[in-house]
Amino acid sequence: MHKTDLKNYIIEILNFNKNLTIAVSGGIDSLTLAAFTSIFKDNLNVAHAVSPAVPKEATKRVKLMAQKFKWNLHIINANELKDRRYKENPYNRCFFCKVNLYNTIKSEINGIILSGANKDDLSDFRPGLDAAKNANVIHPFISVGFTKIHIRKLAKEIGLKLFADLPSSPCLASRIETGTHITKNLLNNIETIETNIQKYIPNSDVRCRWLNNGVNIQFKKPNINKISIDQKKYIINQTSKVFSLSKDRIKFSEYKKGSAFIPRKTGNKNA
């Protein structure tokens, strides 16, 4: 796939839709889509949802890029935590999250919605794509066959080199075991621990997962075997304080994609 394919597709969309909004989470996919689209459209509408499930660092990235590319940024609150269906954290929680997101965008901004979903997402369990279909959301990357690799390459080409290698990181709710109710306090605690660890161990890629009413700290980078005993002691002490949890309920393991997700029957994991 080539940048020209995406360019032609975006221009075609713009020719038929003068009013459009790109939903930007703060991850590399949606940031890249918005940055690339703004090459062809001035004052691009960008919607970014803030909530306890969205890391504050993601919001900072969106605001930074909005200034750089002169986006017309709409900071919204989809209020998904007021939705009982979402709070109960079922296997298809993402569906209800996206329903609230797209409904909120449509209520505040006229026109079609674009998302940064890519071809790789099609091989994963993504109930949010069903919500997108119901809301007639357009996925340019999927339409032209762009994968995450293509997106990272494009990001570097259009001035997003700082974020091009940004690790994938789904919303904080993905750290909570399926079926465990989602609360603001639990989300805040998870973000606090992940942020503290990333400051303590620079460039770390870590997940703080709430599993079986305990915490599992999973390292993707550095390798779990490179985490020292002293580092583990520090993390355990901090985690115990933040969660008001006994230390024996805090475990460490290697990162495992989707380990907080329990499918209803069978299927791929998505976190």
Mean pLDDT of 141-165: 94
Domain co-membership, 21 together with 153: yes
* pLDDT at residue 269, rounded to an integer: 42
Question: Is residue 75 in a domain?
Answer: yes
Domain co-membership, 78 together with 202: no
pLDDT at 270 over 50: no
Question: Is residue 166 in a domain?
Answer: no
* pLDDT at residue 167, rounded to an integer: 83
pLDDT at 264 over 80: no
Mean pLDDT of 238-244: 98
Domain co-membership, 144 together with 206: no
Domain co-membership, 113 together with 177: no
Going by pLDDT thresholds of 50, 70 and 90, the confidence category of residue 271 is very low
Domain co-membership, 69 together with 28: yes
How many C-alpha atoms does 222 have within 13 Å on its Cβ side? Answer: 10
Domain co-membership, 131 together with 189: no
Report, in this order, helix, strand and coil percent for the chain, each rounded to 5. 50, 15, 40
* pLDDT at residue 266, rounded to an integer: 40
Question: Is residue 163 in a domain?
Answer: no
CATH number, position 140: 3.40.50.620
* pLDDT at residue 265, rounded to an integer: 55
| CA–CA gap between residue 15 and residue 8 (Å, rounded) | 10
Q: Which of 130, 157, 184 is the last residue of a domain?
A: 157
Instruction: Say if residues 252 and 219 touch (Cβ distance below 8 Å).
Output: yes
pLDDT at 124 over 50: yes
Q: Which of 167, 169, 173, 174 is nearest to 222 (CA)?
A: 167
Question: Is residue 8 in a domain?
Answer: yes
Q: Which of 102, 122, 157 is the last residue of a domain?
A: 157
Average pLDDT across the chain, whole number: 94
Q: How many domains does the chain have?
A: 2
Instruction: Say if residues 204 and 222 touch (Cβ distance below 8 Å).
Output: yes
Domain co-membership, 33 together with 110: yes
Domain co-membership, 182 together with 145: no
Question: Is residue 250 in a domain?
Answer: yes
* pLDDT at residue 161, rounded to an integer: 87
CATH number, position 244: 3.30.70
pLDDT at 40 over 80: yes
Domain co-membership, 111 together with 212: no
Mean pLDDT of 132-154: 97
Question: Is residue 42 in a domain?
Answer: yes
Q: Which of 48, 49, 46, 50 is nearest to 72 (CA)?
A: 46
* pLDDT at residue 235, rounded to an integer: 98
Question: Is residue 112 in a domain?
Answer: yes
The residues pairing with 250 across neighbouring beta strands, listed in sequence order, are: 215
| Least confident window among 15-19, 156-160, 177-181, 266-270 | 266-270
Domain co-membership, 43 together with 139: yes
- The whole-model pTM stands at 0.93
Domain co-membership, 103 together with 187: no
* pLDDT at residue 174, rounded to an integer: 96
Domain co-membership, 239 together with 106: no
* Amino acid, res. 75: I
Question: Is residue 20 in a domain?
Answer: yes
- Which of 53 and 212 is assigned the larger pLDDT? 53
pLDDT at 100 over 90: yes
Q: Which of 157, 190, 220 is the last residue of a domain?
A: 157
Within 10 angstroms of residue 245's Cβ, the number of other Cβ atoms is 17
Domain that holds residue 123: 3-157
pLDDT digits (tens, 9 = 90+) for 46-89: 999 999 999 999 999 999 999 999 999 999 999 999 999 999 99
